[in-house]
Amino acid sequence: MYNNQNNALAEQKPFMLPSAIPEGEFTQEELAEDMEGIGMSFPRIKIPAGGALQFEIPSGDPENPDYAKTLEGILLFSHDSFTYWAEGNEYDDNAHPLCLSMDGKLGIGEPGGSCSTCVLNQYGTAAEGRGKACKNQRALYLLRSGDFMPLQVTLPPTSLKPFREFLRQAFIFRHRATYGSVIQIGLKKATNGKDDYSVATFRRLSDFSGEELAQVRTYAESFKELVRTMIRQHNAGHESTTDAPHDPGTRYTGPIPTDTSSQFAYGQSLETGYEALPA
Burial label for 267, CB within 10 Å (0-12, 13-18, 19+), is middle
The answer to whether 70 and 184 are in contact (CB under 8 A) is yes
Q: How confident is the model at residue 35 (pLDDT cuts 50, 70, 90)?
A: low
Confidence check: pLDDT of 278 > 80: no
The answer to whether 252 and 269 are in contact (CB under 8 A) is yes
Which is more confidently placed, 7 or 250? 7
The model carries a pTM of 0.80
Distance from C-alpha of 69 to C-alpha of 254, rounded to nearest angstrom: 37
The answer to whether 73 and 151 are in contact (CB under 8 A) is yes
pLDDT tens per residue, range 143-180: 999 888 899 999 999 999 999 999 999 999 999 999 99
User: Is residue 276 a part of any domain in this protein?
Assistant: no
Percent of the chain with pLDDT over 90: 52
Q: How confident is the model at residue 68 (pLDDT cuts 50, 70, 90)?
A: very high
Strands 2-3 and 44-46: unpaired
User: Is residue 13 a part of any domain in this protein?
Assistant: no
pLDDT recorded at residue 179: 96
Print the SS3 string covering 188-236. EEEECCCCEEEEEEEEEEEECCHHHHHHHHHHHHHHHHHHHHHHHHHHH
Prior bond of 111 cis (ω within 30°): yes
Distance from C-alpha of 133 to C-alpha of 253, rounded to nearest angstrom: 33
User: Is residue 69 a part of any domain in this protein?
Assistant: yes
Number of domains in the chain: 1
The answer to whether 221 and 245 are in contact (CB under 8 A) is no
Closest Cα partner for 14 from 233, 212, 227?
A: 212
User: Is residue 64 a part of any domain in this protein?
Assistant: yes
Which is more confidently placed, 152 or 33? 152
According to DSSP, the residues that pair with 198 across neighbouring strands are 189
pLDDT recorded at residue 248: 34
Rg value, the chain, Cα: 19
| Summary mean pLDDT of the chain | 80
User: Is residue 2 a part of any domain in this protein?
Assistant: no
Strands 2-3 and 71-84: unpaired
Which is more confidently placed, 75 or 9? 75
Mean pLDDT of 7-21: 66
Distance from C-alpha of 5 to C-alpha of 205, rounded to nearest angstrom: 7
Closest Cα partner for 162 from 201, 131, 192, 132?
A: 201
Contacts 24+ apart (CB under 8 A), 97-104: 97/245, 97/246, 97/274, 97/279, 98/245, 99/134, 99/245, 100/245, 100/246, 100/274, 100/279, 102/231, 102/234, 102/235, 102/272, 102/277, 102/278, 103/79, 103/231, 103/235, 104/79, 104/80, 104/136
Mean pLDDT of 52-64: 90
Q: How confident is the model at residue 202 (pLDDT cuts 50, 70, 90)?
A: very high
User: Is residue 37 a part of any domain in this protein?
Assistant: yes
Confidence check: pLDDT of 87 > 90: no
User: Is residue 73 a part of any domain in this protein?
Assistant: yes
User: Is residue 6 a part of any domain in this protein?
Assistant: no
Q: How confident is the model at residue 238 (pLDDT cuts 50, 70, 90)?
A: low
Mean pLDDT of 126-137: 88
Residue-number span of the structural domain to which 204 is assigned: 33-271
Phi-psi region of 27 (alpha: psi -120 to 50; beta: other; left: phi over 0): beta
Confidence check: pLDDT of 237 > 60: yes
